[in-house]
Structure 1
Protein backbone atom coordinates (compact mmCIF):
# COMPACT_ATOMS: atom_id res chain seq x y z
CA UNK A 1 0.00 0.00 0.00
CA UNK A 2 2.78 2.48 0.90
CA UNK A 3 4.50 1.83 -2.44
CA UNK A 4 1.23 2.51 -4.26
CA UNK A 5 0.73 5.82 -2.45
CA UNK A 6 4.31 6.97 -3.13
CA UNK A 7 4.12 6.11 -6.83
CA UNK A 8 0.71 7.77 -7.13
CA UNK A 9 2.00 10.97 -5.54
CA UNK A 10 4.94 11.10 -7.96
CA UNK A 11 2.59 10.58 -10.89
CA UNK A 12 0.16 13.30 -9.77
CA UNK A 13 2.92 15.81 -9.05
CA UNK A 14 4.64 15.14 -12.35
CA UNK A 15 1.42 15.24 -14.36
CA UNK A 16 0.32 18.50 -12.76
CA UNK A 17 3.72 20.07 -13.37
CA UNK A 18 3.75 19.00 -17.03
CA UNK A 19 0.22 20.22 -17.64
CA UNK A 20 0.73 23.61 -15.98
CA UNK A 21 4.09 24.18 -17.70
CA UNK A 22 2.68 23.48 -21.17
CA UNK A 23 -0.43 25.55 -20.50
CA UNK A 24 1.60 28.51 -19.29
CA UNK A 25 3.83 28.18 -22.34
CA UNK A 26 0.79 28.80 -24.51
CA UNK A 27 0.27 25.31 -25.96
CA UNK A 28 -3.09 25.38 -27.72
CA UNK A 29 -3.88 21.77 -26.86
CA UNK A 30 -4.26 22.84 -23.20
CA UNK A 31 -6.68 25.69 -23.88
CA UNK A 32 -9.46 23.54 -22.42
CA UNK A 33 -8.09 24.24 -18.92
CA UNK A 34 -9.55 27.73 -19.13
CA UNK A 35 -12.85 26.61 -20.69
CA UNK A 36 -15.26 26.01 -17.82
CA UNK A 37 -17.79 24.03 -19.88
CA UNK A 38 -15.24 21.91 -21.74
CA UNK A 39 -16.08 18.17 -21.34
CA UNK A 40 -12.39 17.20 -20.96
CA UNK A 41 -11.91 19.69 -18.14
CA UNK A 42 -15.16 18.52 -16.53
CA UNK A 43 -13.93 14.92 -16.66
CA UNK A 44 -10.65 15.93 -15.00
CA UNK A 45 -12.56 17.76 -12.27
CA UNK A 46 -14.62 14.63 -11.59
CA UNK A 47 -11.38 12.63 -11.36
CA UNK A 48 -10.11 15.14 -8.81
CA UNK A 49 -13.23 14.56 -6.71
CA UNK A 50 -12.57 10.82 -6.78
CA UNK A 51 -8.92 11.40 -5.83
CA UNK A 52 -9.99 13.52 -2.86
CA UNK A 53 -12.48 10.91 -1.68
CA UNK A 54 -10.00 8.06 -2.15
CA UNK A 55 -7.23 9.81 -0.23
CA UNK A 56 -9.56 10.62 2.64
CA UNK A 57 -10.69 6.97 2.77
CA UNK A 58 -7.28 5.28 2.34
CA UNK A 59 -4.70 7.57 3.94
CA UNK A 60 -6.60 8.73 7.01
CA UNK A 61 -7.12 12.09 8.66
CA UNK A 62 -4.05 12.14 10.91
CA UNK A 63 -1.34 10.47 8.80
CA UNK A 64 1.69 12.79 8.75
CA UNK A 65 3.63 14.08 5.78
CA UNK A 66 7.25 12.97 5.81
CA UNK A 67 9.59 15.06 7.94
CA UNK A 68 13.31 15.37 7.23
CA UNK A 69 16.58 15.86 9.11
CA UNK A 70 18.12 19.32 9.37
CA UNK A 71 21.08 18.08 7.30
CA UNK A 72 18.71 17.68 4.35
CA UNK A 73 18.05 21.44 4.15
CA UNK A 74 20.40 22.27 1.26
CA UNK A 75 19.22 25.71 0.18
CA UNK A 76 17.00 28.61 1.16
CA UNK A 77 13.28 28.32 0.54
CA UNK A 78 12.59 29.45 -3.02
CA UNK A 79 10.20 32.44 -3.16
CA UNK A 80 7.42 31.87 -5.67
CA UNK A 81 4.34 33.65 -6.97
CA UNK A 82 3.85 37.07 -5.40
CA UNK A 83 6.82 38.05 -3.28
CA UNK A 84 5.96 41.62 -2.25
CA UNK A 85 2.28 42.62 -1.95
CA UNK A 86 1.54 46.25 -2.72
CA UNK A 87 -1.89 46.64 -1.13
CA UNK A 88 -2.03 49.73 1.08
CA UNK A 89 -2.88 47.80 4.24
CA UNK A 90 -0.02 45.35 3.76
CA UNK A 91 2.51 48.09 3.01
CA UNK A 92 1.41 49.94 6.17
CA UNK A 93 1.81 46.79 8.30
CA UNK A 94 5.20 46.04 6.79
CA UNK A 95 6.35 49.58 7.50
CA UNK A 96 5.31 49.06 11.14
CA UNK A 97 7.20 45.74 11.33
CA UNK A 98 3.78 44.01 11.48
CA UNK A 99 3.14 45.20 15.04
CA UNK A 100 -0.50 46.23 14.27
CA UNK A 101 -1.16 42.91 12.47
CA UNK A 102 -4.17 40.82 13.52
CA UNK A 103 -5.21 37.36 12.35
CA UNK A 104 -9.01 37.15 12.39
CA UNK A 105 -11.13 34.00 12.72
CA UNK A 106 -14.74 34.62 11.66
CA UNK A 107 -17.76 33.15 9.91
CA UNK A 108 -19.44 30.05 11.31
CA UNK A 109 -17.93 30.37 14.78
CA UNK A 110 -19.34 30.98 18.24
CA UNK A 111 -17.38 34.21 18.53
CA UNK A 112 -15.14 36.17 16.18
CA UNK A 113 -11.60 36.40 17.53
CA UNK A 114 -8.34 37.98 16.42
CA UNK A 115 -4.73 37.59 17.44
CA UNK A 116 -1.67 39.77 17.15
CA UNK A 117 1.57 38.36 15.80
CA UNK A 118 3.02 38.48 19.32
CA UNK A 119 0.07 36.49 20.66
CA UNK A 120 0.50 33.84 17.95
CA UNK A 121 4.21 33.57 18.74
CA UNK A 122 3.44 33.10 22.44
CA UNK A 123 1.21 30.10 21.76
CA UNK A 124 2.67 26.56 21.85
CA UNK A 125 4.93 26.26 18.82
CA UNK A 126 5.59 23.43 16.41
CA UNK A 127 8.61 23.11 14.09
CA UNK A 128 8.69 20.70 11.18
CA UNK A 129 11.14 20.06 8.36
CA UNK A 130 9.10 19.16 5.31
CA UNK A 131 9.32 19.19 1.53
CA UNK A 132 7.43 21.86 -0.38
CA UNK A 133 6.24 20.46 -3.72
CA UNK A 134 5.29 23.04 -6.35
CA UNK A 135 2.92 22.27 -9.20
CA UNK A 136 5.58 23.78 -11.50
CA UNK A 137 7.75 20.74 -10.84
CA UNK A 138 10.32 21.87 -8.25
CA UNK A 139 10.60 21.01 -4.56
CA UNK A 140 12.49 22.36 -1.56
CA UNK A 141 13.07 21.07 1.98
CA UNK A 142 12.73 23.71 4.69
CA UNK A 143 12.02 24.11 8.39
CA UNK A 144 8.78 25.85 9.30
CA UNK A 145 7.85 27.09 12.76
CA UNK A 146 4.46 28.28 13.93
CA UNK A 147 1.39 27.52 15.98
CA UNK A 148 -1.02 24.72 15.09
CA UNK A 149 -4.15 26.01 13.37
CA UNK A 150 -6.57 23.62 15.09
CA UNK A 151 -6.27 25.02 18.63
CA UNK A 152 -6.56 28.57 17.25
CA UNK A 153 -9.84 27.65 15.55
CA UNK A 154 -11.03 26.09 18.80
CA UNK A 155 -10.69 29.44 20.54
CA UNK A 156 -13.34 30.79 18.17
CA UNK A 157 -15.58 27.74 18.56
CA UNK A 158 -16.26 26.20 15.14
CA UNK A 159 -19.98 25.61 14.61
CA UNK A 160 -21.13 22.08 13.70
CA UNK A 161 -22.33 23.08 10.23
CA UNK A 162 -18.97 24.48 9.11
CA UNK A 163 -17.24 22.42 6.41
CA UNK A 164 -14.40 24.59 5.10
CA UNK A 165 -11.87 27.25 6.04
CA UNK A 166 -11.45 30.06 3.52
CA UNK A 167 -8.04 31.75 3.80
CA UNK A 168 -7.98 35.44 2.85
CA UNK A 169 -4.66 37.09 2.03
CA UNK A 170 -3.10 40.52 1.45
CA UNK A 171 -1.55 39.13 -1.72
CA UNK A 172 -2.73 41.14 -4.74
CA UNK A 173 -1.67 38.45 -7.16
CA UNK A 174 -3.41 39.98 -10.17
CA UNK A 175 -4.71 43.35 -11.29
CA UNK A 176 -7.78 43.81 -13.42
CA UNK A 177 -9.75 46.74 -14.80
CA UNK A 178 -11.93 46.62 -11.70
CA UNK A 179 -8.95 46.56 -9.31
CA UNK A 180 -6.75 44.12 -7.43
CA UNK A 181 -7.59 40.42 -7.36
CA UNK A 182 -6.54 39.10 -3.96
CA UNK A 183 -5.22 35.61 -3.41
CA UNK A 184 -7.38 33.24 -1.44
CA UNK A 185 -7.43 29.52 -0.75
CA UNK A 186 -9.50 27.03 1.21
CA UNK A 187 -9.38 23.61 2.80
CA UNK A 188 -11.73 21.23 4.50
CA UNK A 189 -11.64 20.92 8.28
CA UNK A 190 -9.65 17.67 8.08
CA UNK A 191 -6.67 19.57 6.65
CA UNK A 192 -7.28 22.57 8.92
CA UNK A 193 -7.09 20.37 12.03
CA UNK A 194 -4.22 18.18 10.80
CA UNK A 195 -1.35 18.26 13.36
CA UNK A 196 1.13 19.54 10.75
CA UNK A 197 -1.10 22.40 9.61
CA UNK A 198 0.47 25.46 11.18
CA UNK A 199 0.33 29.24 11.05
CA UNK A 200 3.98 29.70 10.22
CA UNK A 201 5.92 32.79 11.34
CA UNK A 202 9.40 31.25 11.13
CA UNK A 203 11.47 29.75 8.33
CA UNK A 204 14.78 27.91 8.78
CA UNK A 205 15.22 29.22 12.34
CA UNK A 206 14.70 32.85 11.29
CA UNK A 207 11.73 35.21 11.05
CA UNK A 208 9.60 34.40 8.02
CA UNK A 209 10.74 36.73 5.19
CA UNK A 210 8.34 38.91 3.23
CA UNK A 211 9.17 37.02 0.04
CA UNK A 212 7.99 33.79 1.68
CA UNK A 213 4.75 35.17 3.12
CA UNK A 214 5.37 37.27 6.25
CA UNK A 215 3.92 37.78 8.71
CA UNK A 216 1.93 34.50 8.52
CA UNK A 217 1.96 31.72 5.97
CA UNK A 218 -0.29 28.72 6.29
CA UNK A 219 1.37 25.32 5.90
CA UNK A 220 -0.80 22.36 4.84
CA UNK A 221 1.96 19.81 4.46
CA UNK A 222 -0.02 17.11 2.66
CA UNK A 223 -0.84 19.46 -0.24
CA UNK A 224 0.89 21.16 -3.16
CA UNK A 225 2.47 24.58 -2.78
CA UNK A 226 -0.42 26.68 -4.04
CA UNK A 227 -2.45 25.39 -1.06
CA UNK A 228 0.02 27.14 1.31
CA UNK A 229 -1.32 30.73 1.20
CA UNK A 230 1.05 33.56 2.06
CA UNK A 231 0.29 36.94 3.69
CA UNK A 232 -2.69 35.45 5.55
CA UNK A 233 -4.95 37.82 7.52
CA UNK A 234 -8.40 36.17 7.89
CA UNK A 235 -9.75 32.65 8.20
CA UNK A 236 -13.46 32.35 7.49
CA UNK A 237 -15.42 29.23 8.47
CA UNK A 238 -18.12 28.40 5.92
CA UNK A 239 -20.35 25.59 4.69
CA UNK A 240 -20.15 26.55 0.99
CA UNK A 241 -17.29 27.76 -1.23
CA UNK A 242 -19.40 29.09 -4.10
CA UNK A 243 -19.69 32.73 -2.86
CA UNK A 244 -15.91 33.29 -3.00
CA UNK A 245 -13.95 34.27 -6.10
CA UNK A 246 -15.35 32.28 -9.01
CA UNK A 247 -16.68 29.60 -6.69
CA UNK A 248 -13.95 26.97 -7.04
CA UNK A 249 -12.37 27.45 -3.62
CA UNK A 250 -9.17 29.34 -4.44
CA UNK A 251 -7.38 31.65 -6.87
CA UNK A 252 -5.67 28.83 -8.75
CA UNK A 253 -8.68 26.46 -8.64
CA UNK A 254 -10.66 29.35 -10.16
CA UNK A 255 -8.10 29.23 -12.97
CA UNK A 256 -8.22 25.51 -13.67
CA UNK A 257 -6.18 23.84 -10.92
CA UNK A 258 -7.41 21.02 -8.69
CA UNK A 259 -9.06 22.35 -5.51
CA UNK A 260 -7.81 19.55 -3.25
CA UNK A 261 -4.16 19.66 -4.37
CA UNK A 262 -3.23 16.66 -2.22
CA UNK A 263 0.04 14.74 -2.63
Structure 2
Protein backbone atom coordinates (compact mmCIF):
# COMPACT_ATOMS: atom_id res chain seq x y z
CA UNK A 1 0.00 0.00 0.00
CA UNK A 2 2.76 2.48 0.85
CA UNK A 3 4.15 2.29 -2.69
CA UNK A 4 0.85 3.70 -3.96
CA UNK A 5 1.00 6.64 -1.56
CA UNK A 6 4.45 7.92 -2.54
CA UNK A 7 3.43 9.46 -5.88
CA UNK A 8 0.52 11.28 -4.20
CA UNK A 9 2.78 12.79 -1.53
CA UNK A 10 5.25 13.82 -4.21
CA UNK A 11 2.43 15.40 -6.20
CA UNK A 12 1.17 17.41 -3.24
CA UNK A 13 4.68 18.52 -2.38
CA UNK A 14 5.34 19.52 -5.96
CA UNK A 15 2.07 21.41 -6.08
CA UNK A 16 2.80 23.28 -2.85
CA UNK A 17 6.31 24.22 -3.89
CA UNK A 18 5.59 25.10 -7.50
CA UNK A 19 2.08 26.51 -7.68
CA UNK A 20 2.53 29.03 -4.89
CA UNK A 21 -0.35 31.46 -4.98
CA UNK A 22 -2.17 29.37 -7.63
CA UNK A 23 -2.45 32.14 -10.17
CA UNK A 24 -3.83 30.71 -13.38
CA UNK A 25 -0.83 31.74 -15.44
CA UNK A 26 1.54 29.95 -13.09
CA UNK A 27 -0.55 26.79 -13.17
CA UNK A 28 -0.72 26.95 -16.95
CA UNK A 29 3.06 27.36 -17.31
CA UNK A 30 3.67 24.46 -14.93
CA UNK A 31 1.30 22.23 -16.88
CA UNK A 32 3.38 22.80 -20.04
CA UNK A 33 6.65 21.63 -18.45
CA UNK A 34 7.64 18.23 -19.97
CA UNK A 35 9.02 16.82 -16.70
CA UNK A 36 5.84 17.77 -14.85
CA UNK A 37 3.66 16.22 -17.54
CA UNK A 38 5.64 12.96 -17.40
CA UNK A 39 5.35 12.85 -13.62
CA UNK A 40 1.60 13.42 -13.71
CA UNK A 41 1.11 10.73 -16.33
CA UNK A 42 3.01 8.12 -14.34
CA UNK A 43 1.18 9.01 -11.11
CA UNK A 44 -2.18 8.86 -12.85
CA UNK A 45 -1.63 5.35 -14.19
CA UNK A 46 -0.57 4.12 -10.76
CA UNK A 47 -3.32 5.72 -8.69
CA UNK A 48 -6.15 4.90 -11.10
CA UNK A 49 -5.21 1.24 -11.48
CA UNK A 50 -4.41 0.72 -7.80
CA UNK A 51 -7.65 2.25 -6.55
CA UNK A 52 -9.74 0.34 -9.04
CA UNK A 53 -8.01 -2.95 -8.16
CA UNK A 54 -7.84 -2.51 -4.39
CA UNK A 55 -11.04 -0.62 -3.73
CA UNK A 56 -13.21 -1.99 -6.52
CA UNK A 57 -14.67 1.50 -6.81
CA UNK A 58 -16.50 1.39 -3.47
CA UNK A 59 -13.90 2.49 -0.92
CA UNK A 60 -15.09 5.50 1.08
CA UNK A 61 -13.30 8.77 1.71
CA UNK A 62 -12.91 9.52 5.42
CA UNK A 63 -15.78 11.46 6.97
CA UNK A 64 -15.34 13.74 9.97
CA UNK A 65 -17.35 15.12 12.87
CA UNK A 66 -18.82 18.63 13.07
CA UNK A 67 -16.12 19.53 15.60
CA UNK A 68 -13.52 19.01 12.87
CA UNK A 69 -14.90 21.65 10.50
CA UNK A 70 -12.31 24.16 9.32
CA UNK A 71 -12.97 27.71 10.54
CA UNK A 72 -12.43 28.98 6.98
CA UNK A 73 -12.99 27.05 3.76
CA UNK A 74 -10.79 28.76 1.22
CA UNK A 75 -12.18 29.98 -2.10
CA UNK A 76 -9.82 29.27 -4.96
CA UNK A 77 -9.98 29.13 -8.72
CA UNK A 78 -12.81 31.21 -10.18
CA UNK A 79 -14.40 33.52 -7.63
CA UNK A 80 -17.29 34.52 -9.91
CA UNK A 81 -17.87 33.57 -13.55
CA UNK A 82 -17.74 36.52 -15.90
CA UNK A 83 -20.54 37.46 -18.26
CA UNK A 84 -24.08 38.79 -18.18
CA UNK A 85 -25.77 35.38 -18.21
CA UNK A 86 -24.32 34.25 -14.90
CA UNK A 87 -24.77 37.72 -13.37
CA UNK A 88 -28.48 37.54 -14.26
CA UNK A 89 -28.77 34.17 -12.56
CA UNK A 90 -27.22 35.57 -9.40
CA UNK A 91 -29.54 38.59 -9.53
CA UNK A 92 -32.59 36.30 -9.69
CA UNK A 93 -31.23 34.10 -6.88
CA UNK A 94 -30.95 31.35 -9.50
CA UNK A 95 -34.72 31.12 -9.97
CA UNK A 96 -34.20 30.76 -13.74
CA UNK A 97 -31.25 28.37 -13.47
CA UNK A 98 -31.65 24.89 -14.90
CA UNK A 99 -29.40 21.85 -14.90
CA UNK A 100 -29.45 20.12 -18.26
CA UNK A 101 -28.70 16.37 -18.31
CA UNK A 102 -28.29 14.99 -21.82
CA UNK A 103 -26.07 13.01 -24.15
CA UNK A 104 -26.32 9.22 -23.97
CA UNK A 105 -29.48 9.12 -21.87
CA UNK A 106 -33.00 7.86 -22.49
CA UNK A 107 -34.71 10.81 -20.80
CA UNK A 108 -32.93 14.19 -21.02
CA UNK A 109 -33.63 16.33 -17.96
CA UNK A 110 -33.98 20.04 -17.19
CA UNK A 111 -33.90 20.38 -13.42
CA UNK A 112 -34.48 23.51 -11.35
CA UNK A 113 -33.01 24.03 -7.89
CA UNK A 114 -36.41 23.09 -6.45
CA UNK A 115 -36.33 19.85 -8.45
CA UNK A 116 -32.91 18.99 -7.04
CA UNK A 117 -33.90 19.93 -3.51
CA UNK A 118 -36.90 17.59 -3.76
CA UNK A 119 -34.65 14.60 -4.46
CA UNK A 120 -33.07 12.55 -1.64
CA UNK A 121 -30.18 14.46 -0.07
CA UNK A 122 -26.87 13.31 1.38
CA UNK A 123 -24.76 15.20 3.93
CA UNK A 124 -21.08 14.43 4.40
CA UNK A 125 -18.21 16.11 6.25
CA UNK A 126 -15.07 15.54 4.23
CA UNK A 127 -11.61 16.96 3.63
CA UNK A 128 -10.86 18.89 0.45
CA UNK A 129 -7.23 18.31 -0.60
CA UNK A 130 -5.85 20.83 -3.09
CA UNK A 131 -2.95 20.16 -5.44
CA UNK A 132 -1.46 23.42 -4.12
CA UNK A 133 -0.84 21.67 -0.79
CA UNK A 134 -3.65 23.00 1.45
CA UNK A 135 -6.67 21.18 2.88
CA UNK A 136 -9.97 22.13 4.53
CA UNK A 137 -12.81 20.18 6.08
CA UNK A 138 -16.34 21.14 5.10
CA UNK A 139 -19.90 19.89 5.46
CA UNK A 140 -21.54 19.32 2.10
CA UNK A 141 -25.19 18.57 1.38
CA UNK A 142 -26.59 17.71 -2.01
CA UNK A 143 -28.12 15.17 -4.33
CA UNK A 144 -26.27 11.93 -4.98
CA UNK A 145 -25.24 12.07 -8.62
CA UNK A 146 -26.50 8.50 -8.96
CA UNK A 147 -30.06 9.66 -8.25
CA UNK A 148 -29.95 12.13 -11.15
CA UNK A 149 -28.39 9.64 -13.54
CA UNK A 150 -30.97 7.02 -12.64
CA UNK A 151 -33.76 9.47 -13.49
CA UNK A 152 -32.15 10.16 -16.86
CA UNK A 153 -31.61 6.42 -17.57
CA UNK A 154 -28.22 5.89 -19.17
CA UNK A 155 -27.86 4.30 -22.57
CA UNK A 156 -25.54 1.24 -22.76
CA UNK A 157 -22.80 3.17 -24.61
CA UNK A 158 -22.38 5.76 -21.80
CA UNK A 159 -18.96 5.55 -20.14
CA UNK A 160 -18.16 9.04 -18.84
CA UNK A 161 -20.00 11.88 -17.11
CA UNK A 162 -18.93 15.35 -18.27
CA UNK A 163 -19.68 18.49 -16.23
CA UNK A 164 -19.93 21.69 -18.28
CA UNK A 165 -19.52 24.79 -16.14
CA UNK A 166 -20.32 28.50 -16.30
CA UNK A 167 -16.79 29.77 -15.72
CA UNK A 168 -14.49 30.68 -18.58
CA UNK A 169 -10.72 31.09 -18.38
CA UNK A 170 -10.37 33.40 -21.34
CA UNK A 171 -7.12 34.71 -19.86
CA UNK A 172 -5.46 31.27 -20.00
CA UNK A 173 -2.11 31.36 -21.79
CA UNK A 174 -3.54 29.68 -24.87
CA UNK A 175 -6.48 32.11 -25.04
CA UNK A 176 -9.18 29.48 -24.54
CA UNK A 177 -10.89 27.73 -21.74
CA UNK A 178 -14.48 26.94 -20.85
CA UNK A 179 -14.19 24.99 -17.63
CA UNK A 180 -15.30 21.39 -17.69
CA UNK A 181 -14.49 18.18 -15.83
CA UNK A 182 -15.36 14.49 -16.14
CA UNK A 183 -15.43 11.25 -14.18
CA UNK A 184 -16.11 7.62 -15.04
CA UNK A 185 -19.23 5.72 -14.07
CA UNK A 186 -17.53 4.03 -11.11
CA UNK A 187 -17.03 7.41 -9.43
CA UNK A 188 -20.36 8.73 -10.74
CA UNK A 189 -22.31 6.05 -8.87
CA UNK A 190 -20.15 6.17 -5.73
CA UNK A 191 -22.32 7.08 -2.70
CA UNK A 192 -20.09 10.04 -1.77
CA UNK A 193 -20.28 11.63 -5.22
CA UNK A 194 -22.87 14.36 -4.88
CA UNK A 195 -24.11 17.49 -6.61
CA UNK A 196 -23.65 19.84 -3.68
CA UNK A 197 -26.16 22.60 -2.97
CA UNK A 198 -24.81 23.79 0.37
CA UNK A 199 -21.62 24.13 2.38
CA UNK A 200 -21.72 24.17 6.18
CA UNK A 201 -25.53 24.32 6.26
CA UNK A 202 -25.77 27.40 4.02
CA UNK A 203 -26.47 27.64 0.29
CA UNK A 204 -23.33 27.73 -1.78
CA UNK A 205 -21.83 31.17 -2.19
CA UNK A 206 -20.76 32.35 -5.62
CA UNK A 207 -17.14 31.84 -4.63
CA UNK A 208 -17.82 28.24 -3.68
CA UNK A 209 -19.63 27.41 -6.92
CA UNK A 210 -23.28 28.48 -6.61
CA UNK A 211 -25.74 27.17 -7.30
CA UNK A 212 -24.31 23.66 -7.84
CA UNK A 213 -20.92 22.00 -7.69
CA UNK A 214 -19.56 18.50 -7.93
CA UNK A 215 -18.11 16.70 -4.91
CA UNK A 216 -16.19 13.57 -5.82
CA UNK A 217 -14.54 13.00 -2.49
CA UNK A 218 -11.87 10.48 -3.40
CA UNK A 219 -10.14 12.88 -5.78
CA UNK A 220 -8.16 16.11 -5.49
CA UNK A 221 -9.78 19.52 -5.36
CA UNK A 222 -9.50 20.48 -9.02
CA UNK A 223 -11.93 17.64 -9.85
CA UNK A 224 -14.66 19.33 -7.74
CA UNK A 225 -16.13 21.34 -10.61
CA UNK A 226 -18.00 24.53 -9.62
CA UNK A 227 -20.89 26.32 -11.40
CA UNK A 228 -22.21 23.13 -13.02
CA UNK A 229 -24.68 23.98 -15.79
CA UNK A 230 -24.90 20.81 -17.84
CA UNK A 231 -24.15 17.12 -17.36
CA UNK A 232 -23.39 15.16 -20.50
CA UNK A 233 -23.15 11.40 -20.78
CA UNK A 234 -20.68 10.31 -23.42
CA UNK A 235 -18.82 7.30 -24.73
CA UNK A 236 -15.51 9.12 -25.16
CA UNK A 237 -13.72 12.28 -24.06
CA UNK A 238 -11.61 12.82 -27.17
CA UNK A 239 -14.02 15.27 -28.83
CA UNK A 240 -14.49 17.58 -25.82
CA UNK A 241 -12.07 20.44 -25.16
CA UNK A 242 -8.56 19.22 -25.95
CA UNK A 243 -9.68 15.66 -25.45
CA UNK A 244 -8.17 14.87 -22.04
CA UNK A 245 -11.35 15.05 -19.98
CA UNK A 246 -11.10 18.38 -18.18
CA UNK A 247 -9.77 21.94 -18.23
CA UNK A 248 -6.68 21.08 -16.20
CA UNK A 249 -6.16 17.59 -17.63
CA UNK A 250 -6.14 19.28 -21.05
CA UNK A 251 -3.17 21.26 -19.72
CA UNK A 252 -1.15 18.35 -18.38
CA UNK A 253 -2.71 17.50 -15.02
CA UNK A 254 -3.99 14.02 -14.14
CA UNK A 255 -7.44 13.15 -15.37
CA UNK A 256 -7.76 10.71 -12.47
CA UNK A 257 -6.64 12.56 -9.34
CA UNK A 258 -7.35 9.91 -6.72
CA UNK A 259 -6.21 10.29 -3.12
Structure 2 portions without partners, runs of 5+: none
* TM-score normalised by length of structure 1: 0.88
Which segment is superposed worse, 66-75 or 4-13? Answer: 4-13
Structure 2 CA distance, aligned partners of 1:205 and 1:23? 28
1:41 Cα deviation from its structure 2 partner: 3.2
Q: Which residue of 1 aligns with 2:13?
A: 14
1:118 Cα deviation from its structure 2 partner: 0.9
Question: Where does 1:110-259 land on structure 2 (aligned, <5 Å)?
Answer: 110-175=106-171, 181-259=177-255
- Match of 1:185, SS state, is strand
1:256 Cα deviation from its structure 2 partner: 1.4
1:10 Cα deviation from its structure 2 partner: 3.7
Q: Is the 8 A contact 2:194 2:215 kept in 1?
A: yes
Question: Where does 1:61-140 land on structure 2 (aligned, <5 Å)?
Answer: 61-140=57-136
Runs of 4+ in 1 over 3 A off after TM superposition: 3-12, 15-27, 30-33, 38-44, 175-180
Structure 2 CA distance, aligned partners of 1:42 and 1:178? 20
* TM-score normalised by length of structure 2: 0.89
- Please, which of 24, 30, 34 is the counterpart of residue 32 of structure 2? 34
Structure 2 CA distance, aligned partners of 1:24 and 1:260? 22
Q: Is the 8 A contact 1:148 1:196 kept in 2?
A: yes
Structure 2 CA distance, aligned partners of 1:92 and 1:26? 28
Structure 2 CA distance, aligned partners of 1:72 and 1:6? 24
1:160 Cα deviation from its structure 2 partner: 1.4
1:179 Cα deviation from its structure 2 partner: 7.5
Structure 1 portions without partners, runs of 5+: none
> CA 1:40/1:129 → structure 2, altered by over 3 Å: closer, same or farther?
closer
